[in-house]
Amino acid sequence: MTGLWDVILPAGQRRGLEDLNERLDLDLGDRHAKLSGFWTMLVLSAVIAVAGVLGDSTATVIGAMIIAPLSIPIMGVALGIVRADGSQVLRSLTWVMAGVATVVALGALAAVPLPDTLGTVSNSQIAGRTSPGILDMVAAVATGLAGAVGLARRDVSDVLPGVAIAISLVPPLGVVGICLGTGQPILALGAFLLFLSNMIALIMAGTLVFTAYGYAREAALARGFNRKRANTVVAAVLVLVLIPLLSNTAANLAVALWTQRVTDVAEEWLADVAGGRLTDVTVTSATAIVDVQVPGNLPDTAPLLAALDGLIPAGISVVVDAGVGMRVDVGVVGAQ
């Protein structure tokens, strides 16, 4: 085991505690320069993220991820826990919360002048960040482990840009602001849950790696701070985050099942329509949108609604969209 540990962290590559603490505590050293850099990069990252989300541009959103200024105080929380320094934990959390509020506010301001017809469901950058699942947490923990190792080892710091891309911090906060600005609090809550789960995963992974690398032994216990209690609090928050993530994973599986059922029924409904073709099916918690192409008028939609009764939950509205001027609100399942 000792040999394996030497491979994971060669003694000659371990970053000193003071050096690591200097990097992760925004209030140490040249505080003015650190905070200037933090706020400049955070605002720019937020603007890039919001623009990328609104433009549905993956490349632009990745640009916002690479900057990733929020990861510094988040990892500062983890190191504060390991060092048993309650003041560092509180300082770092304060910067995290201030950063969160700033990004959300910028997203909401950007969304205010937008038309009410903004397609949040069809926007892949929004849809992909409003339904986090348990796999997102697994990926975030693995990413956090890689990031903590990169910070603790002097020779692998070049992995940090890749880690920044892998874990999403600023983009989901931008989505929170956009969804709040467009009057969609449920979607905003889903995006915030993604950010929160990623933040907790980073703190847990950082705490584990920094403790395993011996920083806890090296640091002196701060008066009035209980490391065991701090770890218990972080673990409790992790459980609280995991509960909605597991629930959302189950909900995503259910929506996938309903989507397949709507697809099967819609294809059967169009089977006798010459030239008719099903192009897409989108199911949310309240609406099922069936996109079709037909050469003439739509066939009677009543059989479609009747066939879905019992296959998807009652109360879901069914809409058939055949293009401009041919969008039909079929009705509500179970309301016949």
DSSP characters over 210-238: HHHTTHHHHSPPPTT--HHHHHHHHHHHH
Is the model's pLDDT at 7 over the cut of 70? no
Q: Based on the domain organization, do 208 and 264 belong to the same domain?
A: no
Instruction: Let me know if 220 is exposed, middle or buried by CB neighbors in 10 A (0-12, 13-18, 19+).
Output: exposed
Q: What are phi and psi of 67, to 5 degrees?
A: -65, -50
**Is 238 part of a structural domain of the chain?**
no
Q: How confident is the model at residue 97 (pLDDT cuts 50, 70, 90)?
A: very high
Nearest Cα neighbor of 202 from 246, 154, 169 is 169
Determine, yes or no, domain membership for 64. Answer: yes
> pLDDT tens digits for 120-165?
556 777 766 666 666 777 787 888 888 888 788 777 665 565 556 5
Q: Is residue 196 part of a domain?
A: yes
Average pLDDT of the chain to the nearest whole number: 78
Domain co-membership, 271 together with 221: no
Please tell me whether residues 116 and 182 are part of one structural domain: yes
Which of the four pLDDT bands, split at 50, 70 and 90, describes residue 96?
Answer: very high
Using CA atoms, how far residue 106 sits from 42, 126, 175, in Å, is: 11, 16, 10
Tell me whether residue 327 is in a domain. yes
In a shared domain, residues 56 and 135 = yes
Report yes or no: 107 and 51 within 8 Å, Cβ to Cβ: no
Which residues constitute the domain of residue 272?
A: 254-332
**36 and 134 belong to one structural domain:** yes
Distance CA 141, CA 117 (A): 37
Distance CA 23, CA 88 (A): 13
Tell me whether residue 83 is in a domain.
yes
For residues 221 and 107, state if they share a domain.
yes
Alpha carbon distances (Å) from 171 to 83, 185, 210, 218: 30, 17, 27, 36
Is-contact 163 37, C-beta < 8 A?
A: no
How far apart CA 326 and CA 139 sit, in angstroms, is 42
Report the percent of the chain where pLDDT is more than 90. 10
pLDDT at 105 over 50: yes
| DSSP-assigned letter for residue 295 | S
31, part of any domain:
yes
One domain, residues 308 and 219: no
- Contact between 177 and 131 under an 8 Å Cβ cutoff? The reply is no
Please determine, for residue 95, whether its predicted confidence score (pLDDT) is greater than 90: yes
Q: Which pTM does this prediction carry?
A: 0.69
pLDDT exceeds 80 at position 252 = no
Determine how β-strand 287-293 pairs with β-strand 317-321: parallel
| SS3 per residue for 90-133 | HHHHHHHHHHHHHHHHHHHHHHCCCCCCCCCCCCHHHHCCCCCC
pLDDT number for residue 104: 94
Band (pLDDT 50/70/90 cuts) for residue 40 is very high
Are residues 25 and 95 both part of a single domain? yes
Is position 236 within any domain? no
Q: Does residue 206 belong to any structural domain of this protein?
A: yes
Residue 165 near residue 66 (C-beta atoms within 8 A):
yes
